[in-house]
Amino acid sequence: MNAVVFSFTKAGTALGGRAAAFLQQNGWQVRQATLAKFAVPPAVSFDPSLREETARAFQSARLLLFVGAAAIAVRSIAPFIRKKDEDPAVIVIDEKGQFVIPILSGHIGRANEWGRQLAAAIKGQAVITTATDVNALFAVDEWAARFGLRLSSLTEAKAFASGLLERGRAGLYSDFPVEGPLPPGLVVTTDCETGLIVTTKAAVSVFPSAVTVRPAILHVGIGCRRGTLSSAIEKAVSSALKEANLSKEAVADVSSLDVKRNEEGLLAFAKERSWPIRFFTAAELNAVPGTFTASDFVRQTVGTDNVCERSAVKASGGGKLVVSKKAGQGITVAVACESYILRFLTV
């Protein structure tokens, strides 16, 4: 993870160095930038200006830390703010280190979380202003970002937060077992006006108003004839997912036999979807335990009796086959779901 620490005074640059050291100890790649007269290594001068430095940081860094006045930070980032789910975390620390204030992307960008950590490290006070935090309630967007889960939409997340704030409680529906305590305000029930749905399904209707969160735990196995177009593979996969009421947002990757490693249509399909693609040898697929839809012709041709189902289960780490082999137009598709336990706290 990349971070940029900005400072504007001698004292601020010294504090920025302490903050940078803490971040580096926790796995961050840190650039510390300041005015030329305070640029004593490892700090460097703004290149070539504060504006250009900030523009680059918005493109390449996950955290921008300003040591100085909040107004400087606000004016610096204003031209580059994009969307709530795209902006990096931005935090301000006064040059004496008294207050640590997340000012952008507090939840999805995890500025609140990192702000608390920095405050503890420099013995300052984290100043958190987001409504769910100050009311000690569950922030679904922050939780989803921390655990790598996919939100149905920011609009629905906002409506969920508003409903939780207004009523003090919200329901939880999960397709998966829940382990550990629930966050404040969240109750396992569908008898609520507002709710959180955790699923791999495309559609679940159990609350009048809900935000849906999906773990990326579906693995799509694909077999295809040589020269199959990406559009045909897209159609086959979309049809299989739709028939099973499964969401593309829950797909982790696609996989196939290694002889398809250079299959242009398959590679293009995965690239268009931004889905990682994995390839397994026939021996690896034959070693996958389970009962599969066997084909003697496929075995004689490529060395394994089934490509799509075995690939999906292999990629899922031995998960459950939720879509058995679907065949048509020279394409076979199967989907496996890896084992998953819903947690709200880190362990």
Write out the chain in H/E/C secondary structure: CEEEEEECCHHHHHHHHHHHHHHHHCCCEEEEEECHHHCCCCCEECCCCHHHHHHHHHHHCCEEEEECCHHHHHHHHHHHCCCCCCCCEEEEECCCCCEEEEEECCCCCCHHHHHHHHHHHHCCEECCCCHHHHCCCCCHHHHHHHHCCEECCHHHHHHHHHHHHHHCCEEEEECCCEECCCCCCEECCCCCCEEEEECCECCCCCCCEEEEEECCCEEEEEEECCCCCHHHHHHHHHHHHHHCCECHHHEEEEEEEHHHCCCHHHHHHHHHHCCCEEEECHHHHHCCCCCCCCCHHHHHHHCCCCCHHHHHHHHCCCCEEEEEEEEECCEEEEEEECCCCEECCCC
346 in any annotated domain:
no
Last residue of a domain, one of 191, 214, 237: 214
The packing angle between helices 50-60 and 70-77, to 10°, is 70
**Residue spans of the chain under pLDDT 70:** 346-347
Last residue of a domain, one of 129, 164, 194: 129
Say whether both 67 and 105 belong to one domain. Answer: yes
Q: What is the pLDDT of residue 107?
A: 85
CATH of the domain at 57: 3.40.50.11220
CATH of the domain at 225: 3.30.420.180
Q: What is the pLDDT of residue 29?
A: 97
Say whether both 196 and 238 belong to one domain. Answer: no
- Cβ partners under 8 Å of residue 168, min gap 6: 137, 185
Say whether both 44 and 67 belong to one domain. Answer: yes
Say whether both 93 and 175 belong to one domain. Answer: no
Say whether both 118 and 7 belong to one domain. Answer: yes
Spatial distance between the Cα atoms of 338 and 133, rounded to a whole number of angstroms: 32
Say whether both 210 and 237 belong to one domain. Answer: no
From the list 223, 167, 224, 176, the residue with the least C-alpha distance to 197 is 176
Residue-wise pLDDT for 80-92, tens only, equals 999 888 899 999 9
Spatial distance between the Cα atoms of 43 and 257, rounded to a whole number of angstroms: 50
Which one-letter amino acid corresponds to residue 199?
Answer: T
> How far is the CA of 125 from the CAs of 10, 80, 95, in angstroms?
22, 28, 13
Residue-wise pLDDT for 123-151, tens only, equals 999 998 887 777 777 889 889 988 999 99
Q: What is the pLDDT of residue 347?
A: 41
Q: What is the pLDDT of residue 346?
A: 56
Spatial distance between the Cα atoms of 100 and 91, rounded to a whole number of angstroms: 7
135 in any annotated domain:
no
- Its domain, for residue 180, covers 149-214
Say whether both 6 and 125 belong to one domain. Answer: yes
Torsion of CA 245, 248, 249, 253, to 10 degrees: 130
Say whether both 154 and 103 belong to one domain. Answer: no
CB 195 within 8 A of CB 173: yes
